[in-house]
């Protein structure tokens, strides 16, 4: 087994932030289809196929994902549309970013903060983005065992965007450039544009045909991309088989963290209690009518 290096201690500090970022898979806003993660996935792909620099996409989309951890769907466009100036909108994004960004590597944190701001409105994303946003993930499966179905399933767009962002954020922990793991995160499930996900159990049943099927379907998607972008994607896909270099380590750390944090989310959701909302999260929060709200609940036996 290939060990991650440098030491993994910073991952424990990063985990709460990663979990919050992953919640963008489950947050939606009116007027925009898909989760916030799916929207970001489609936008990132649209930016890439329009010819935008991969590093610019990686840093700005990762910065937006960190700010989204607390601001959810409140972005620069929403804020300026509500009458704030560009400077005022940026200040809100920076406050959201600063509230959660403490565990990040200092150099990366500064670079991401500088990348905050309005995101481009590119043209139509490639068909692969829509297909992966519509393609459900299988979840946890094992050969010879009945699958555990959890609702709602995440999409491949949810997963790929989240792995891309995690890869960029984890990169300093393993001495990697954040850009290659970001791009690999976006692209590592190209074969699932066509291939429905049956999980590890399905991969085992495909047997010797698995690699050929994946390669055929992946190459089909690569052939439809602009040549320069396809070349960059091929370069990062070559990192996927092992974990012997920093970029591959960052990607594989991001991938496994997202898969396991997703399971933790479902376990946490299944165990959620009303007292957690009322006590831990202060659902009836401080304000001029809090006392009245508490009286109402007491009278209702709640």
Q: Are 239 and 180 in contact (CB under 8 A)?
A: yes
Helical segments of the chain, H only: 9-22, 36-49, 54-71, 76-81, 86-100, 106-114, 127-134, 156-170, 179-187, 199-206, 209-223, 227-237, 246-270, 274-275, 290-299
HSE of 242, CA atoms in CB hemisphere, 13 A: 7
Q: Are 145 and 151 in contact (CB under 8 A)?
A: no
pLDDT higher at 243 or 91? 91
pLDDT in tens, 200-227: 889 999 999 999 999 999 999 999 999 9
**Mean pLDDT, residues 52-71 taken together:** 98
pLDDT higher at 120 or 218? 218
pLDDT in tens, 98-114: 999 999 999 999 999 99
pTM of the predicted protein model: 0.89
Tell whether the model's pLDDT for residue 236 goes beyond 80: yes
The pLDDT of residue 189: 97
Give dist(CA 155, CA 120) in Å, integer. 24
pLDDT confidence tier of residue 6, bands split at 50, 70 and 90: low
Q: Is the peptide bond preceding residue 234 cis, with omega within 30 degrees of 0?
A: no
pLDDT in tens, 237-267: 999 999 999 999 999 999 999 998 998 887 7
Tell whether the model's pLDDT for residue 2 goes beyond 60: no
The pLDDT of residue 268: 77
Tell whether the model's pLDDT for residue 23 goes beyond 70: yes
pLDDT confidence tier of residue 150, bands split at 50, 70 and 90: confident
The pLDDT of residue 164: 98
Tell whether the model's pLDDT for residue 301 goes beyond 60: yes
Give dist(CA 57, CA 180) in Å, integer. 12
pLDDT higher at 184 or 147? 184
Q: Are 172 and 108 in contact (CB under 8 A)?
A: yes
The per-residue pLDDT of the chain, averaged, comes to 92
pLDDT confidence tier of residue 32, bands split at 50, 70 and 90: very high
Tell whether the model's pLDDT for residue 40 goes beyond 90: yes
Residues of the chain with pLDDT > 70, as a percent, come to 97
The pLDDT of residue 1: 45
Joined tokens for residue 183:
């791009």
Q: Is the peptide bond preceding residue 6 cis, with omega within 30 degrees of 0?
A: yes
Of 131, 124, 134, 111, give the one whose Cα is nearest residue 55. Answer: 111
């Amino acid at each position: 087994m290939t060990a991650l290096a440098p030491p993994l201690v910073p991952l424990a500090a990063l985990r709460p932030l990663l979990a919050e970022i992953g919640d963008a898979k489950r947050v939606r806003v009116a007027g925009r289809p898909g989760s916030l993660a799916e929207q970001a996935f489609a936008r990132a792909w649209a930016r890439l196929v329009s010819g935008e620099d991969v590093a610019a996409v990686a840093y700005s989309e990762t910065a937006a994902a960190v700010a989204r951890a607390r601001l959810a769907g409140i972005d620069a466009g929403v804020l300026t549309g509500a009458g704030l100036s560009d400077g005022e909108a940026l200040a809100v994004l920076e406050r959201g970013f600063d509230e959660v960004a403490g565990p990040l590597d200092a150099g990366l944190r500064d670079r991401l903060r500088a990348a905050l701001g309005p995101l481009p409105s590119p043209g139509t994303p490639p068909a692969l983005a829509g297909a992966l946003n519509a393609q459900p993930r299988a979840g946890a499966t094992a050969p010879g065992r009945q699958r555990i179905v959890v609702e709602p399933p995440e999409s491949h767009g949810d997963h790929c965007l989240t792995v891309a962002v995690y890869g960029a954020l984890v990169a300093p922990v393993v001495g990697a450039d954040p850009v290659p793991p970001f791009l690999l995160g976006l692209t590592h499930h190209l074969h699932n544009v066509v291939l429905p996900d049956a999980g590890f159990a399905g991969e085992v049943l495909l047997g010797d045909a698995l690699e050929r099927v994946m390669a055929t379907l992946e190459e089909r998607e690569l052939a439809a991309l602009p040549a320069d972008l396809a070349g960059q994607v091929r370069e990062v896909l070559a990192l996927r088989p092992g974990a012997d270099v920093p970029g591959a380590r960052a990607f594989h750390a991001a991938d496994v963290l997202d898969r396991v944090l997703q399971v933790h989310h479902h376990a946490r959701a299944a165990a959620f209690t009303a007292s957690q909302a009322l006590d831990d999260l202060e659902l009836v929060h401080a304000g001029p009518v809090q006392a009245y709200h508490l009286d109402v609940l007491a009278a209702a036996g709640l």
